[in-house]
Structure 1
Amino acid sequence: MAVKGRFTGARVWATAWQVPFIMGLAAPSIAANAADEGRQAGALEEVVVTARKREESLQDTPIAISAFSAAALERQQIASTEDLDQVAPNLQFASYGPLTGNNSAAQVYIRGIGQSDGSSGVDPGVGLYIDDVYMGRSVGGVLDFRDISNVQILRGPQGTLFGRNTIGGAVLLTTTLPGKEFGGTARVGIGDDNLYEGFVAVDVPIADTLAARFSVGARQRDGYVTRVFDGVDLGNEDTYTVQSSLQWLPNDSLTLTLRGDYTKEDENGSPFVFAAINESQVFPAAISRGNGCPGATFPPPSVPQNIVDERCANDATWNLGKYRNGGNAPAESSLENWGTSATLQWELTDAFALKSITAYRELEWSGSRDADNTGLLVLHTDYSSAGDQFSQELQALVETERLRGVVGAFYFEEAIDDFLLVPFAAPPPLVASGAIPGSLDYQRALIDNDNFALFTQWTYNATEALSLTAGVRYTEETKGIQITSFTVTPLTAPVRIPTTLNTPFVAGPGLNVIPQPFENKYESTTGSASIQYRWNEAVMTYLSWSQGFKSGGFNQRYNVAPPGNLPVAFDEETAETFELGFKSELGANLRLNAAVFSTDYENMQLTYRLGIVPLLFNAGKSSIEGAELELTYAPGQLLVEASAGYLDNQFDEIAVVPGTTQTVGPNNTLPFAPEWQANLGVGYDFEVGNATLTPRVNVSYTSEQFFDAANSMEVAQLDDVTLLNASLTLELGAWRLRAGVNNATDEQYRVAGNSSFSTSAGYAEVIYSRPRNYFVSASVDF
């Protein structure tokens, strides 16, 4: 099962046309985006969405959608995907995946459904698409909005038109297309924590029918958590991106768009800090005894809790506060992510069109973390991964006066080489006495995923007011894996074993290779239907039903060799949602949309601990109910944007998983599913001579939430959080100057957590928000 070379033809095709564009990005350049002029005073922005594979008004689409233009993102201080939960209801978008050590590992949840494990054997629960291209992995899902024209957030299962791993919903990003005239934009910014960022882009008309766009951006910022061991700043940012696009319109019926992008990140580790340690568990007791902690004995429990001594694994010594870390193991995070795509649309007649979307991507990343966040080397992990993916989607689109529809086919394949090293260094006295051996878990997996789907959806306009929509999708998915076994040795000191990814397995002393790959196949038919009625030009209501499906797979982690040394498999999960909504535009300056929904979430894929190892299991069934409200009010120079979300979830059935140390209880709630979420943004345009001065305040509220299915209290965010951002923008002709503050009230709240507190490892870690930070930026259009 080789990884490299599997998509040789696709790689050659993708690289051949992309090389000149990537090279062209090396030179500084400037561009203008004339497509988004922002709103006119006293009027609403027109919002166009593509949730049904065609362009249509947000107000005519019977789906709960939040949509934001580039101008809307900028004025609401939404700089990246992880900020989207400040403006969209029932969305949680967190970075710093706790199980990978990588800063770009996205944890995305919509209406309580998502996935927090960013490892390559686990698929996300919310699909992320860039220019209609599905991004297969959670790592790489934290993206800056440097050259994005719009963002759409589709809530609820999208199992018909999008399919793969959109059981919770989908996030659609669209990059900026080339303009018809030569022009540009340039932007620079500085801020607290030595923030420096810049972005330049250029639109280059090549001929009447051919235009290109090139952009380059960079962002650097110091971390906000300090390791006392070596002074390393965790949570820093060091990112460089380039993008290019070429659009050819030889006639009125044919459009060919070629795109390419490249992202590189080279940063310190995630900003985790110590949350708690369980002095009665095996690892803390063994480490304390072996290092000579006064009064510590082994077997546990016997670690003094009230003395401050670096030889003791206890809270008194290692709880250093919210922004200081006591770890000493390597903490690194790196990523290289690039891809190319070609989109061809051919309008054969006024009623019939064909569309093809072809894409190839490569992703290579690594993450190292000190899991216990102490100076005692209780547990740390080194994770590396390299993979590539190829996708092809074909669509036949029909649009007549009464009937609109799409028939399509989708193919996706990816190959991944994963490497995970987990050393536990037992102190020499314990090893010599035979009380506890050190261990070195060397885990490597080759993963192959293939997906094929056929889909269709049709909308029939029965009358001018009544429309009926129905669709269905058939999916076949194959998951394959080949893994190593692990070795246990008398390890007395931490080690780092270099590895070369994308090479054949070679057995060594104590390292056993399972020669045969394992493979599971999954099939599903999912559907959707809706009925919508437009009561007048201002108000539309709809009732919809949709299904979602996410295939099963294999855990590449394991704690002890399962029977026959087999990987631990898990089954598919499903969701079924009924939704009732209305969309309205009352006059020229008020838009009000709302939805209520009920979801049955079955065979849930949730993370339990088997021993100390996080593994995905099917946890049972839950019911999720909720509501969402979104409002935009734009009278004159005033602009008010608000939304609110409510979630109520409960476990109806709980699956018993033998041997697990963290399980789901009947009173637990789903992770990343706060009961209440709301936001409010208010801005006012003051005309000052030839300039416009706009003060703006954005407030977001999130009620308490848990970060794992076990509802581990030691890492939960148990207080409500109200976050205040503010800015002042001066616009004069082509120039824009902005000064602002994020987290103006300096809230210190938890944004992610990871707990092995009840396992033999006995540790828990959390990430807190970045403290209050100021910024100033300037941009100019040409």
Structure 2
Amino acid sequence: MKTILGAALLVALATTSSAGAEEADDGVSRLPEILVSARRRTENAQAIPGALSVVGGELIDRSYTVNTGQLSLLVPSLNYSSANPRNTAFTIRGLGSVVVAVSQANDGLEPGVGFYVDQVYHARPATAAFDFVDIERIEVLRGPQGTLFGKNTTAGAISIVSRAPSFDWQAQGEASYGEHDFFQAKAAISGPIIADKLAFRLSRLATRRDGVLHNVALDKDQNTLNNQAVRGQLLWKATDALTLRLTGDWNNFKSECCTQVYLRTGTSLRPAARQFPALAAGLGYAPPSTNPDDRLTDIDASLAVDTNEGGVSLVTDWDLDYATMTSVTAWRFWNWNAANDRDYTGLPIQLTQGIPSRQDQISQELRLASNGDGPVGYVAGLYYFRQVITGRPVSIYGPTAAYWLLGPAPQFPSNLLDGYGQDGRTRFATDSYATFAEVNWKPIDRLTLTGGLRYTIESKQGDYSTFVFGGLQTIVPALVSAKLSILRPQTYAARSDDGSLSGRANASYELGGGVLAYASFARGFKSGGINMSGLPLNAQNQPALATAVVAPERNTTYEAGLKADFWDQRLRFNLAGYYTEVRDFQATLVDSTQTVALRGYLSNIPKVTVKGFEIDAVAVPVAGLQLRASVAYADGEYAEYPQGPCPLELQGSATTACNLTGGRLSGLPRSATTIGGDYALPLTLASRPGEVFVHADTSWRSSYYGDPTLSRFTLIDGYNITNASIGFRAAQGWSVTVFARNLFNSNYIQNLTTQAGNSGLILGTPSDPRVIGATLGFTI
């Protein structure tokens, strides 16, 4: 019923405001030209022969889209998962980097989706969890992008472009307040320092919200929000041909976050006494609720997130008349610290778990892009990137750990693991060098041929060292072995050196009448990874199922599509079909043969395939009304995976590996749809001329597996979410808006976790409840 109401609301009201349409001299509203820099030069998005989505800054503001997770509701092919900011992962068409349900993000794995802000590559996906600040537009590109972007990306790229300084004085801001004590304030001011020579822009954002999960043991709300961000920019026009843009930014997320609630209990082949119902009964424990929609928890360990990131970049553009030379120089950092209760219960199984981390990166890109629209166009560049990540993996168990993880007394003393823990140090370093080029050639009128090549050299070094301490001191071999089955000291160093040639070819033809047809072929490459979360070990203390270094990933993508503007530029329709094959797909897995699985390790899946299609449409049927619809269908599967990890249903047997060939690719819904619209009507309110506006968008996603093992207990049901707003915008520049996020209070699971220890307990992050609020804004 809610879905029907959501669709009816959109049909009646409609998604992107009247600002998204241009009125011609004949009085007809038409779709505007969308200018993007997806191919590293400014051009019409409809002229680019490839699949991409563009979300403008006005739509971002109107839809109250404040981060990458919410962006995925507007871009169906983008999938986002984040149990906490560090464990953030996003995929495009199901490909990228997936963080599995019980593991920490593995620092030795390169993301398959590149995340860029103002042309600067952000190496850690965790930085995408911060709120957007003063955004002009976001471009989401699908498929390999190595011949155009500095850092190699095999699955696609998210390119965020912030609003630039202006030589005219500008000021804008807004303040929003809503349910759950939600508060957000955004402000920006820009203007000249030296007329026509030097301009500045200063942007600020603050977001906070009370917790949406209630801890019954502590009688307090948890999973709060508290984001702070600031960005400062200077734009210097040194000459008519030379422009420099200096940017500095800082972002902080400090909250009592992030935990999960009881979702369900799965069964395995372990003895019944070693599964969750019997284990919990033996301690007289029951979850505060078995309905995740109640949003109740009783965790007893500390919960906190304190993370920040920032940096400085300098972008220099030098117009040489025939081409533009661009230099992008940047330094960035990321700090992470958190406290977790990784058993997710009110039992003292694990007292402390975390991995405080620090990342620093520097990058330099030098690029030459042709100007004009001649028969030959080109982009060529050089790129260097270095990052260093240091971490301290810490874990300490409590008084019920031995019972829960090993078995009851007298076989194991109840205090065997009380105070038993692990500490250590990790260091991961990457050096990447690349040269890339792409050429567009128009041999005849309407036909454009494109070819691009990239050569990448990457060197990675990983050092991992941990020691154990505490617990019952014993020399009994069986008890020593039991302790080491939970945590054991481990030290290793690994290195990976890769060099690879990749590229793409594309042919496009203007059919006439505003229709462009294209077909493309691309080969992508992602360098090998290093396990930086420890290696799973068998009884002989030898690596099992994984090695310290995993092989490079190779992506082959075929794509064909149409881009068309119809109905006198009042209807835009884009269609893309694709087939992707990935060899040695890099994934983070968990060794289900171990007594307790706390961290994931990297491994290669021999072959993964994804095929599907995407449709994007936008229309301006009447003045003031704009409608949008996007559909993404993707059929992803493990094409070859004979030695995969076993699902929960088979754990506890003698089977150490399971054949997952032919199974669905985890983390990928088969279908995702977004429908939306905006309507604006001129209106004079209390003698104040302006317009009343309505915005709405609704998104559907089908079910998908939340874990690579494809256990039936990790299936996440499909869901629908609808957002809407209505307000008045005065000609004088002020506005008032009433908004609703999750208008129909839809309950769904965002991601899930399997409790460490193979008890069968499955936890989930429930959806945020409905938030209704109001916004006051101004523009000068």
TM-score, length basis structure 2: 0.85
Query: Gaps spanning 5+ residues in structure 2: where?
Result: 1-17, 24-28, 100-104, 474-486, 647-654
Deviations 1:581-600 (A, max 9, x none): 11111112111111000001
Q: Are 2:199 and 1:211 aligned?
A: yes
Partners of 1:684 and 1:556 lie apart in 2 by 51
State how 1:136-285 maps to structure 2 within 5 Å.
136-162=123-149, 164=151, 166-207=153-194, 208-277=196-265
Q: How far did 1:737 drift? A: 1.4
Matched residue, 1:92 = 79
Q: How far did 1:552 drift? A: 1.7
Deviations 1:696-725 (A, max 9, x none): 22111111111221123333312x312111
Q: How far did 1:675 drift? A: 0.8
Matched residue, 2:482 = none
Partners of 2:280 and 2:423 lie apart in 1 by 34
Partners of 2:370 and 2:174 lie apart in 1 by 42
Q: Please, which moves more after superposition, 321-330 or 204-213?
A: 321-330
Q: Please, which moves more after superposition, 309-318 or 720-729?
A: 309-318
Matched residue, 1:66 = 53
Matched residue, 2:481 = none
Matched residue, 1:697 = 696
State how 1:333-344 maps to structure 2 within 5 Å.
333-344=305-316
Q: Are 2:770 and 1:749 aligned?
A: no
> Contact 1:308–1:317 at 8 Å: present in 2 too?
no
Partners of 1:565 and 1:446 lie apart in 2 by 22
Matched residue, 1:294 = none
Q: How far did 1:310 drift? A: 8.8
Deviations 1:177-227 (A, max 9, x none): 011112201111101110111112111201121101111111111120112
Partners of 2:607 and 2:392 lie apart in 1 by 33
2:674 aligns with one of 672, 679, 683: 679
* Secondary structure at the counterpart of residue 337 of structure 2: strand
* Secondary structure at the counterpart of residue 356 of structure 2: strand
Q: How far did 1:122 drift? A: 2.2
AA aligned opposite 1:40:
E
Q: How far did 1:427 drift? A: 3.8
> Contact 1:114–1:168 at 8 Å: present in 2 too?
yes
Q: Please, which moves more after superposition, 451-460 or 554-563?
A: 554-563
* Secondary structure at the counterpart of residue 371 of structure 1: coil
**Alpha carbons of 1:713 and 1:331: their partners in 2 closer, same or farther (altered >3 Å)?**
farther
**Alpha carbons of 1:43 and 1:319: their partners in 2 closer, same or farther (altered >3 Å)?**
closer
> Contact 2:452–2:505 at 8 Å: present in 1 too?
yes
Q: Are 2:386 and 1:406 aligned?
A: no
Q: Please, which moves more after superposition, 243-252 or 308-317?
A: 308-317
Partners of 2:279 and 2:309 lie apart in 1 by 47
* Secondary structure at the counterpart of residue 456 of structure 1: strand
* Secondary structure at the counterpart of residue 70 of structure 2: helix
> Contact 2:106–2:588 at 8 Å: present in 1 too?
no
Q: Are 2:422 and 1:435 aligned?
A: no
Matched residue, 1:627 = 613
Aligned pairs, how many? 705
Matched residue, 1:557 = 533
Sequence identity percentage:
26
Q: Please, which moves more after superposition, 536-545 or 659-668?
A: 659-668
Q: Please, which moves more after superposition, 427-436 or 708-717?
A: 427-436
Partners of 2:552 and 2:221 lie apart in 1 by 40
Partners of 1:90 and 1:126 lie apart in 2 by 12
* Secondary structure at the counterpart of residue 375 of structure 1: coil
Matched residue, 1:452 = 433
> Contact 1:364–1:387 at 8 Å: present in 2 too?
yes
Q: How far did 1:672 drift? A: 2.1
Query: Gaps spanning 5+ residues in structure 1: where?
Result: 1-35, 97-101, 283-298, 493-509
Matched residue, 1:732 = 730
> Contact 1:158–1:547 at 8 Å: present in 2 too?
no
Deviations 1:357-407 (A, max 9, x none): 000001101222222211113345222111100000011223461111111
Partners of 1:280 and 1:59 lie apart in 2 by 52
Q: How far did 1:45 drift? A: 2.9
* Secondary structure at the counterpart of residue 716 of structure 2: coil
Q: How far did 1:554 drift? A: 1.6
> Contact 2:459–2:496 at 8 Å: present in 1 too?
yes
2:94 aligns with one of 77, 92, 112: 112
Q: How far did 1:643 drift? A: 0.5
Q: How far did 1:651 drift? A: 1.9
Partners of 2:700 and 2:325 lie apart in 1 by 44
Matched residue, 1:469 = 450
State how 1:424-573 maps to structure 2 within 5 Å.
424-427=397-400, 433=410, 435=412, 437-438=416-417, 439-487=420-468, 489-490=470-471, 514=491, 517-558=493-534, 568-573=548-553
> Contact 1:480–1:517 at 8 Å: present in 2 too?
yes
2:111 aligns with one of 120, 124, 142: 124
Partners of 1:658 and 1:170 lie apart in 2 by 29
Matched residue, 1:286 = none
2:774 aligns with one of 750, 773, 776: 776
Matched residue, 1:375 = 346
Q: Please, which moves more after superposition, 372-381 or 193-202?
A: 372-381
Q: Please, which moves more after superposition, 82-91 or 316-325?
A: 316-325
* Secondary structure at the counterpart of residue 312 of structure 2: strand
Q: How far did 1:564 drift? A: 7.6
Partners of 1:108 and 1:415 lie apart in 2 by 22
> Contact 2:463–2:493 at 8 Å: present in 1 too?
yes
> Contact 2:639–2:662 at 8 Å: present in 1 too?
no
**Alpha carbons of 1:320 and 1:744: their partners in 2 closer, same or farther (altered >3 Å)?**
closer
> Contact 1:76–1:681 at 8 Å: present in 2 too?
no
Partners of 1:303 and 1:264 lie apart in 2 by 40
> Contact 2:464–2:534 at 8 Å: present in 1 too?
no
AA aligned opposite 1:724:
T
TM-score, length basis structure 1: 0.85
* Secondary structure at the counterpart of residue 33 of structure 2: coil
> Contact 1:273–1:765 at 8 Å: present in 2 too?
yes
AA aligned opposite 1:606:
A
Matched residue, 2:643 = 656
Give the root-mean-square deviation of aligned CA atoms: 2.7
Higher relative contact order (CA 8 A, sep 6+): 2
Deviations 1:48-105 (A, max 9, x none): 1112111110010011000011112223332221111211132112333xxxxx3364
Partners of 1:343 and 1:721 lie apart in 2 by 42
Matched residue, 2:576 = 595
State how 1:293-442 maps to structure 2 within 5 Å.
301=273, 305=277, 311-312=283-284, 322-348=294-320, 350-379=321-350, 381-399=353-371, 401-427=374-400, 433=410, 435=412, 437-438=416-417, 439-442=420-423
Q: How far did 1:770 drift? A: 0.5
AA aligned opposite 1:405:
Y
> Contact 1:105–1:140 at 8 Å: present in 2 too?
no
